[in-house]
Chain A
Amino acid sequence: MKTTDYRQRTTEELEAQLVSQFGTESHFTVPAGYFDGLTDKVMGRVAQRKRRRLVMRWAAAAMLAGSVIAGGLLLERHNSVQTANAEDIQYIEDALDYSMIDNMSIASYLTEADLN
Chain B
Amino acid sequence: MIDEKALIQQLSKPSSKEAAFTQLVREYQEPLYWQIRRMVLVHDDADDVLQNTFIKAWTAIDSFRGESRLQTWLFRIAINESLNHLSKKKQTLSLDEPENSPAASLASDSYFDGDELQQQFQTAISALPEKQRLVFNLKYFDEMKYEDMSDMLGTSIGALKASYHHAVKKILAFFENND
CA of A13 to CA of B23, assembled, Å = 41
Contact partner of A22 among B37, B41, B111, B118, CB < 8 A? B118
CA of A21 to CA of B173, assembled, Å = 13
In the assembled complex, the CB of B46 is this many whole angstroms from the nearest CB of chain A, namely 8
Chain B 6-50 interface 0/1 with A at a Cβ cutoff of 8 Å (1 = within)? 000000000000100110011001100110011001010001001
- CB-based contact B164/A6 at 8 Å: no
* B contact patch SS: helix
> Which of A39-47, A66-74, A101-109 contacts the other chain?
A39-47
Number of residues on chain B facing chain A (CB within 8 A) = 41
- CB-based contact A11/B168 at 8 Å: yes
Residues from chain A with Cβ under 8 Å of B173 in the complex: 4, 6
- CB-based contact A27/B112 at 8 Å: yes
CA of A43 to CA of B19, assembled, Å = 10
Number of residues on chain A facing chain B (CB within 8 A) = 28
In the assembled complex, the CB of A21 is this many whole angstroms from the nearest CB of chain B, namely 8
Contact partner of B58 among A22, A35, A38, A46, CB < 8 A? A46
Residue in A30, A31, A35, A45 whose Cβ sees the most chain B Cβ within 10 Å: A30
Residues from chain A with Cβ under 8 Å of B168 in the complex: 11, 14-15, 18
In the assembled complex, the CB of B155 is this many whole angstroms from the nearest CB of chain A, namely 16
- A46 and B18 contact, Cβ closer than 8 Å, known pairs A4-B176, A18-B168: yes
Q: Give residues of chain A (5-23) contacting chain B, Cβ–Cβ below 8 Å.
A: 6, 11, 14-15, 17-18, 21-22
CA of A24 to CA of B21, assembled, Å = 32
Chain B 78-121 interface 0/1 with A at a Cβ cutoff of 8 Å (1 = within)? 00000000000000000000000000000000011110011001
In the assembled complex, the CB of B60 is this many whole angstroms from the nearest CB of chain A, namely 13
Task: Report the nearest A residue to B168, measured CB to CB.
Answer: A14
Task: Tell me if A49 counts as interface (CB < 8 A to partner B).
Answer: yes
- CB-based contact A30/B33 at 8 Å: yes
CA of A14 to CA of B25, assembled, Å = 37
Task: Report the nearest B residue to A14, measured CB to CB.
Answer: B168
Task: Tell me if B65 counts as interface (CB < 8 A to partner A).
Answer: no
In the assembled complex, the CB of A15 is this many whole angstroms from the nearest CB of chain B, namely 6
